[in-house]
Amino acid sequence: MEYRSRSIYKSTSIMISAILFLSLIHTSHCFYLPGVAPEDFQKGDPLKVKVNKLTSIKTQLPYSYYSLPFCSPKKIVDSAENLGEVLRGDRIENSPYVFKMREPQMCSVLCRITLDAKTAKQFKEKIDDEYRVNMILDNLPLVVPIRRLDQGSPTVYQLGYHVGLKGQYTGLPCMLTFSDYVQSKEEKIFIHNHLAFTVKYHKDPQTDSARIVGFEVKPYSIKHEYEGKWSENTRLTTCDPHTKRTVVNSNTPQEVEANKEIIFTYDVEYQESDVKWASRWDAYLLMSDDQIHWFSIVNSLMIVLFLSGMVAMIMLRTLYRDISKYNELETQEEAQEETGWKLVHGDVFRPPSNSDLLCVYVGTGIQFLGMVLVTMIFAVFGFLSPSNRGGLMTAMLLLWVFMGIFAGYASSRLYKMFKGTEWKKISLKTACLFPGIAFVIFFVLNALIWGQKSSGAVPFGTMFALVVMWFGISVPLVFVGGYIGFKKPAIEDPVKTNKIPRQIPEQAWYMNPIFSILIGGILPFGAVFIELFFILTSIWLNQFYYIFGFLFLVFIILLITCAEITIVLCYFQLCSEDYLWWWRSYLTSGSSALYLFLYATFYFFTKLEITKLVSGMLYFGYMLIASYAFFVLTGTIGFYACFWFTRLIYSSVKID
């Protein structure tokens, strides 16, 4: 029985998620918990249709729905938004559409407007930039179903419908789409002024109540006609429910020009569906190209197996042989003939230059690792449902703030090992360096968005809330972690450090620091670049990404790859008697962020159609922040892997 009480639904959700997680591990797909309790509707119950932002993949600048002179209710009411929604640019408001459950409507007139030069220009600009209207019904986004040409392929859903289209109309008797136009020098702008809504519902045969499981639309452009003067009771000749005449094509589209009137109308059709409420998001999250994700996993696993083989060879053959050889040396003469990595035992744990900065970056990396790991686990369990708009971003921000205690602990522990004494200074740097740089870039980008009068601009109140979270919660937690970490006993080096630094011999060309660092970043990037394509597509092409099962596996592979490539290159470095491994271990795996940014640049020029300067600056600004964060995360993983490796091998040999 699908319909249960709300209390039973909530009490069983955790158990359901645990059971489904086991199947997730087997299939690597991701599921979701619906996120909100279901709402039952009786026949005739009013349905609240809400409007969201206008979005465009060409400009990446969202705008409020009522920034265009659409039909509006008597009083516009904003819905409560969480932090993530505000940062995404969502602006959810009420609408003038009147829906009643399971009561179809035909040719309902919404309003009639006459365009002046200013409003006509606004519509033309938004249509030219291919803006889409986003709407919400019972927490479901409005979608346009697009059927693929090949038989048997599932229907694809486009989020939102286009405000209008441009081109020269050819008079084809079908729904107005881009293919209905022949591009010419004198293009005309047409607006979608008739919407044919389809509300799908799942009915409970026992109670006759129903739940909404789908919200679709087919937009049309039609120049409505009527007889006589316009009044509230005027009947349209192009769309009249009394004569059963409805809009089925766009033979006479509505052009957008100054001093022309536009009549907005809509139909509402209700269809019973076999889809249950708990599965209503499945169609939106349909992943038809899962083979390429499996290819990504196999590709990444091949890299991991290759690196694991090299690490195993180093650990089991070379290191075992070296350690056995070193421990069997009996005479002083033999001891003086030691070679390879043992030669630098007196310098390998010498504190590096700019050790304070290294401590700060390592602490920040631990903060990122904790945030990403916990977020990923919650997403895999299905707690970050797509129905909870902004939930993912809100969760990541809150986790980042509360992970500050681990950042402070990690940085101060390393700082004390380097014989540092001013733990408060290192804690302050840890709390402010990365967030400060990211905030400055974000503030500049936000000012650019504000200049475009976009709803994507973060309001002053939200900006103030972010600063309060930073200095009111994150900074104190970093200091708490720093205090706890500094009070712990210092980490002891397995070997003593000489007072006089050893001279590093001339290195082969392939052991040049820049070359080895750049080589080290290729494999970690290679493990994630296929999945990165889908993430970028989700962010910049306004599509759903909800395959966290695959993403979690790729993330684990990334951790292993970063650790293993750093260990391999660190071993080769020590064997060539170069003991300056601290920063190089961090930069080796961290250099994968450079390839990430280069790939983002390639993606911009090959996949996106952004032409405006501000939109391009937004793209590269946000990708710069993402690449910087990726650098800190992967660098920290490589550093700790190398830190563990060096302590392990130098604690295994006898040194006089």
Q: Between these two residues, 317 and 560, which has the higher pLDDT value?
A: 560
Residues 280 and 300 in one domain: no
* The two structure tokens encoding residue 165: 């289209």
Q: How large is the angle between the packed helices 522-540 and 513-520, nearest 10 degrees?
A: 50
Domain range spanning residue 580? 290-310+355-490+521-652
State which of 233, 250, 284 marks the end of a domain.
284
Helix (H), strand (E) at residue 404: helix 404-417
Residue 52 covered by a domain? yes
Residues 464 and 432 in one domain: yes
Residue 169 covered by a domain? yes
Instruction: Compute the average pLDDT of residues 536-558.
Output: 82
Residues 206 and 299 in one domain: no
Residues 295 and 243 in one domain: no
Residue 512 covered by a domain? no
Mean pLDDT computed over every residue of the chain = 82
Residue 515 covered by a domain? no
What pTM does this model have? Answer: 0.83
Residues 632 and 591 in one domain: yes
Residues 384 and 480 in one domain: yes
**C-alpha torsion sign, points 135, 139, 141, 145:** negative
Residue 250 covered by a domain? yes
Tell me the pLDDT tens digit for each residue of 42-59: 888 999 999 999 999 888
Q: What pLDDT is stored for residue 591 in this prediction?
A: 94
Tell me the pLDDT tens digit for each residue of 152-166: 667 778 889 999 988
Residue 608 covered by a domain? yes
Tell me the pLDDT tens digit for each residue of 176-203: 444 444 444 467 889 998 999 999 999 8
Tell me the pLDDT tens digit for each residue of 313-343: 776 666 666 667 666 654 444 444 445 677 8
Residues 192 and 280 in one domain: yes
Residue 274 covered by a domain? yes
Tell me how many domains the chain contains.
2
Band the pLDDT of 23: cuts 50, 70, 90: very low
Residue 114 covered by a domain? yes
What is the bridge-based pairing of β-strands 261-272 and 194-203?
A: parallel
CA distance linking residue 517 with residue 494, whole number of Å: 26
Q: What is the three-class DSSP state of 188?
A: strand
Q: Between these two residues, 494 and 409, which has the higher pLDDT value?
A: 409
Residues 472 and 565 in one domain: yes
Residues 246 and 298 in one domain: no
Residues 274 and 395 in one domain: no
CA distance linking residue 141 with residue 281, whole number of Å: 10
End-to-end CA distance of the chain: 75
Residues 304 and 272 in one domain: no
What is the distance, to the nearest Å, from the Cα of residue 356 to the centroid of all Cα atoms in its chain? 32
Residues 219 and 305 in one domain: no
